[in-house]
Structure 1
Amino acid sequence: MDRIILNIKELITVRGMNVYLVGGYLRDKIQGRAAGDVDLLVEGRAKNLALELAEKLSGTPVPLDERRDIHRLILQAGEQTVQLDLEGMPEGGLVADLRRRDFTINALSLPLAAYCGGSFLENSVIDPLGGMEDLRKGIIRACSSAAIEDDPLRALRAFRFSAGLGFVLAPDTLQLIRHMRRPITVCAGERIRDELFAILHKASSSIVRLMNGQTTLLEQIFPEIVPLKGLQQGGYHVDDAWEHSLKALERFETLVPGTPAGREGVTKAAKGGRTQLTGKTITAGGEDRDVTVARFGRAFLSGLPDGVRNGLQEYLAQNITRGRSRLPVLKLACLLHDVGKQFCREYAGNGKYTFYGHNRAGEPVARSVAQRLKLSKREGEVLATLVGQHMDLLFLYKSAPVTPRAVRRFFRRAGREAPGLLLLSLADVASSRLASGQVEAAAAYNKFIADMLHKYYNQGHLYVSPPRLLDGAEVCSLLGIKPSPLVRRVLEALADAQAEGVVQTGAEAREFVRRWREGEKKQ
């Protein structure tokens, strides 16, 4: 990208134009972070410069807003595709434009003439709002008292920057978010989704807790969670349904391969060596209240073979729609997995409640959320599967001894989302057991889930995709019948027998079908 920017600098020098680097690219360069796409502010017609650069750099120009003279240039930088957004200088000039931006750390500008291949003098940076100082201190501060009201999505974006940069929100900015007059839901669902998923893609449970404790953003985005607050559960649950959901997210993040177990993604405050977490402070480097959860996360991950860990990592990172992986959907499922409990609560006596069918009751809610956030069809299906089937593993566990047939049928129902259901179930069950001090129960469930992951990744030939020893036509021939639902029943019974190790060859499969037919005749 530096080479491209220097080419642009060369061209504008010849043309005698003033062009400025602005926004996130400059912020990340100042911090020494990997910088992404480039934003340029142009004195003069941005369209003309975009067309000339497209010809010179073999790029593709895309008009974004002709009226405001905003254009995008798509370029190849080696194997990467990069974007340059060019905007004509708005009314009022450069400083007025910077003052209209979201946060001071993004209200920085550098004359392109001062850019020297990735390096520049800090005193060349135009900084009307103290953004450089906020960068040094790790503070996210709104550019003005109107910044959040002008675009309520900026409230969510503030927390996205907190999650991504490890910065803390300035108190006055947090106040603006708390008291914004327009709800965030006036923004398009796609915009809310993108900011929310950017948060969830990070180690974000502490940020979600901060949003929950200090603002009403989550209630605005997910009004379905409001009845969960204060919804007492009894039994293993010492927390209300919403607090348990937050703890399930925290627990889940300790289980994700590639993320240090127990890392909270906390934001470091600007002063005093303190760490802010969910509205409280703890001494940096000290143990927080979730040390037991972190220890269990480390034990779970360290006990998994490399092949299983790698399989989980690949599953979580895999894109299920263009540019978006499973990971944010799984974290969203942690927050919504018990949303159906508000519809199914029955008092069972002795301070206990039942929630029979809450997983199925939560499935249509998950679909509604997916539609509202404009998730892709595949993302919506994954979210609904995770919420709707999250109890299946606990039911399987309680049916001990767990039979090979039951294991295979679970994997068949779960399909490609079996690893996600395993992690979600462990996060759900272990978080409630640990919260109530049932450490041994949590450890036993850890062991059960680890064994199920072993079956999925290392014994798939038995439980996930057993080899097809007979097809439907052969079953019809052996039974002397025409194609019918009976054929599926026979093939299911045969797959169960393979999982149990009773049938391993084609000859054994044919004999099994004959015996199955005789058994059916006797009934």
Structure 2
Amino acid sequence: MLTALPTGTNPLDHEVNRRVLALSESSGVNLYIVGGYLRDALLGRFNAVVKPKDIDYAVADGSAFAFAKRVADELNGHFVPLDESSDTARVVLSDEAVSMDFAGCVGGSIEKDVLRRDFTINALVWNSREPNTVTDLVGGVEDLKSLTIRAISEKTFVEDPLRVLRAYRFAASLGAKIEPETFGWVNKHSSGLKSVAVERINLELFTALSHPATEIVMSMGAAGILEIIFPELIETRRVTTNSFHHLGLFEHSLETIPQLENRLDLVPDWVVESASKELSHGVTRLAATKVACILHDIGKPATWAINEDGRHTFYAHDVLGAEMCEVVADRMKWSRPVERFITKLVKWHLRPGALFHQGPPTEKALRRFYRSVGEDVPELMLLAFADFGATCGPGLLEENRRSLEKNWNELLSNFSVYLNEDRQRVRFLDGNRVMKLLSIPAGPVIGEILSALDEAQEFKEVLNVADAEAFVKNLYQEKYFK
């Protein structure tokens, strides 16, 4: 079946495609554009300003590997030999911000190649003989219209179990549904994820969580997929409801996701903007916050106790949970920024509530909280709101709920004021000056001293450079000098 491309999305309108096509003709290979480029074109995601950044080419009647090398040479691109034995290579054009993947047609023809792809929405084909249309051999266009994720066959998941997560990722990014037969295959082959490299799992998981993810998280939880990725969650299933929690611990952890996503409609725009920023390559702060939500109580099973009066306690579960997150980060090979961020949110997730435990905090306590958490305050508050929203046991009075919600909204609003003040404040001393003043090397002590100096300067306990130097010397003598 042929389907017309939207106006302005003809691949020949893209100069890179025109140049690559010209090279294919002179090289004697048949070239097809396949995959996500066509899916996104039919969804209307490209225009005169927004151009595709990733293009997949299928090559017939010749070597894709050799052709990709020629493309790199002719277009001054960077050649990345992915796997010569499977005839796959990549060309990156830095100037154009375009990455192109070249693969030989599986089975020798485009018709056979299409049947080896993962989902129908990714099995569309374009060739220059019909430049204004795409060829659809498997019903991908209709599935795209109805926002349906449908696997080409069960072999999709046998050949690459990562496609279990890809199904969820496409469901999240497109707002689509996984059709029943495909969903059955997803559940059947989910255990195959245990053999998949964690780097590949991270890419799919964090990408999925950067989109509205309530439905997929609930589905992945019900199917046991989250416990395959994070075995630390297994023990949370045994922690039952109590007077403050109307859900078991596992269900409570998942419920934080819809609570967080609903909260995004209620917080100031600058909070949403903060969460949308990239924390590390391919990982947004929002996606990492959702992982922190899922993991925030993993320290509870090991700290769970029931008092004689029937009260459930989980003393220091935040500290243990943060330590467990460090183990998760090591196993999952998260980048240092992602590890620090998620661990920090888990470690501090009780602090917003503790601030108001005995009434409104002092100005000094509030500012110390802001300074300690730093730029991560918006995301920590999103986690705190989500955790609180997922806690609806009979022991939690509605009056207390409303009061805490009001206090937290003010805490979040005041942070933006604090942040502006902090950015405008000029430090009297920097780290190099402190090291020289005290004749000590770089290390954690310098950071601690600077933090204390910031607080003293903020509360006008030091008013100039001389005051700052005296403060630093006295602090070092009293606290660090032995």
TM-score past 0.5 threshold = yes
Mean Cα deviation higher: 188-197 or 437-446: 437-446
1:169-248 to structure 2, matched below 5 A, reads 169-180=178-189, 182-213=191-222, 215-248=223-256
Please say if 1:505 is aligned against 2:463: yes
Match of 1:443 among 402, 405, 409: 402
Offset, 1:505? 3.5
Deviation of residue 135 (structure 1)? 2.1
Equivalent pair of 2:221/2:254 in contact (CA under 8 Å)? no
Partner residue of 2:119 out of 78, 83, 103: 103
Distance 1:458 1:339, change over 3 A: same
TM superposition shift of 1:428? 1.4
Amino acid at match of 1:191: R
Structure 1 stretches of at least 4 aligned residues deviating more than 6 Å after TM superposition: 434-437, 461-466, 470-475, 485-494
State the match for 2:35 in structure 1: 23
Instruction: Tell whether 2:331 aligns with 1:372.
Output: yes
Larger mean Cα displacement after TM superposition, 56-65 or 142-151:
56-65
SS of residue paired to 1:398: coil
Encode CA deviations 1:275-328: one digit per residue, 9 max, x unaligned.
Answer: xxxxxxxxxxxxxxxxxxxxxxx3xx2xx4xxxx32x24432333323432221
Q: Secondary structure at the match of 2:307?
A: strand
Task: Please name the residue that 2:275 is paired with.
Answer: 316
Q: Name the CA distance, whole Å, in 1 between partners of 2:34 and 2:465.
A: 71
Q: Unpaired runs of 5+ in structure 2?
A: 1-10, 47-51
Three-state SS of the structure 2 residue aligned to 1:395 is helix
Check 1:465–1:356 CA distance in 2 against 1; reply closer, same or farther (3 A cut): farther
Q: Whole-Å Cα distance in 1 between the matches of residues 291 and 87 of structure 2?
A: 38
Alpha-carbon distance in structure 1 between the residues aligned to 2:140 and 2:449: 69
- Please give the root-mean-square deviation of Cα atoms over the aligned residues, in Å: 3.6
Please give the per-residue CA displacement for 1:446-488, whole angstroms capped at 9, x wherever unaligned.
322222223322124777996546899999xxxxx999x9999
2:364 to 400, 405, 409: 405
**Among candidates 287, 298, 322, match of residue 328 of structure 1:** 287
Q: CA deviation at 1:130?
A: 2.5
| Residue 456 (structure 1) aligns with | 415
SS in 1 for 2:207: helix
Q: CA deviation at 1:347?
A: 0.7
Q: 1:66 aligns with which of 43, 61, 84?
A: 84
DSSP 3-state at the match of 1:339: coil
Q: CA deviation at 1:419?
A: 2.5
Could you tell me how far apart the structure 1 residues matched to 2:364 and 2:195 are? Answer: 50
1:153 and 2:128 matched: no
| Percent of pairs with identical residues | 33
Structure 1 contact 336–387 (Cα < 8 Å) conserved: yes
SS in 1 for 2:215: helix
The TM-score with structure 1 as length reference comes to 0.77
Q: Distance in 1 between matches of 2:448 and 2:341?
A: 27
Give the whole-Å Cα distance in 2 for the aligned partners of 1:185 and 1:487.
Answer: 43
Deviation at 1:172, TM superposition (A): 0.9
Tell me, yes or no, if the aligned pair for 1:62 and 1:73 is still in contact at 8 Å.
yes
Alpha-carbon spacing, 1:498–1:234, altered in 2? closer, same or farther (3 Å): farther
Question: Residue type matched to 1:199 in 2?
Answer: A
Q: Deviations over 1:206-265 (max 9, x none)?
A: 21112222x221111111112212412423211111222122221112233xxxx2xxxx
Letter in 1 for 2:33: L
CA drift of 1:376 comes to 0.4
Q: Matched residues in 2 for 1:352 and 1:464: separation?
A: 45
Task: Identify which of 250, 257, 261 aligns with 1:253.
Answer: 261
Matching of residue 39 in structure 1 with residue 39 in structure 2: no
Alpha carbons 1:233, 1:352 under 8 Å: kept: no
Alignment-derived partner of residue 142 in structure 2: 133
In structure 1, how many angstroms separate the alpha carbons of the residues matched to 2:330 and 2:446? 37
**SS of structure 2 residue aligned to 1:87:** strand
CA contact (8 A) 1:149 1:182 kept: no
Residue aligned with 1:459, SS:
helix
Aligned residues: 454
Separation in structure 2 between the aligned mates of residue 472 and residue 172 of structure 1, nearest angstrom: 61
Closer, same or farther in 2 for the Cα pair 1:355/1:465, shift >3 Å? farther
Check 1:180–1:488 CA distance in 2 against 1; reply closer, same or farther (3 A cut): closer
Instruction: Read off the aligned partner of 1:39 and give its amino acid letter.
Output: D
CA distance in 2, matches of 1:130, 1:178: 23
Residues 141 and 167 (structure 1 numbering): CA distance in 2 closer, same or farther, change over 3 Å? same
Give 1:350 deviation, angstroms. 4.2
Which sits farther off after the overlay, 221-230 or 43-52?
A: 43-52
Q: Distance in 1 between matches of 2:20 and 2:450?
A: 65
CA spacing shift, 1:463–1:434, aligned 2, 3 Å = farther
Give the letter aligned to residue 372 of structure 2: R
Mapped contact 2:243–2:395 kept (Cα < 8 A):
no
Q: Cα gap change, 1:138/1:437 in structure 2, threshold over 3 Å: closer, same or farther?
A: farther
**Distance of 1:237 and 1:37 partners within structure 2:** 46
Match of 2:360, SS state, is coil
TM-score (norm 2): 0.83
Q: 1:429 to 1:65 in 2, by over 3 A?
A: same
Task: Note if contact 1:205-1:250 (Cα within 8 Å) is conserved in structure 2.
Answer: yes
Distance 1:356 1:464 in 2: 37
> 1:114: which partner in 2?
130
1:450 is matched by which residue type in structure 2?
N
SS across alignment from 2:100: strand
Q: Is the 8 A contact 2:164 2:190 kept in 1?
A: no
Q: Is 21-30 or 91-100 further displaced after alignment?
A: 91-100
Residue 348 in structure 1 maps to residue 310 in structure 2: no
| Contact 1:363/1:385, CA 8 A, preserved across alignment | yes
Encode CA deviations 1:383-406: one digit per residue, 9 max, x unaligned. 111111111221112132311222
Deviations 1:412-453 (A, max 9, x none): 332332332222112212331499885443332232222222
- 1:361 deviates by 0.9
Structure 1 residues 134, 323: closer, same or farther in 2, change over 3 A? closer
1:164 maps to which of 173, 177, 183: 173
Structure 2 residue identity aligned to 1:57: L
2:325 aligned counterpart, secondary structure: helix
Name the amino acid aligned to 2:278.
N
SS at match of 2:356: helix
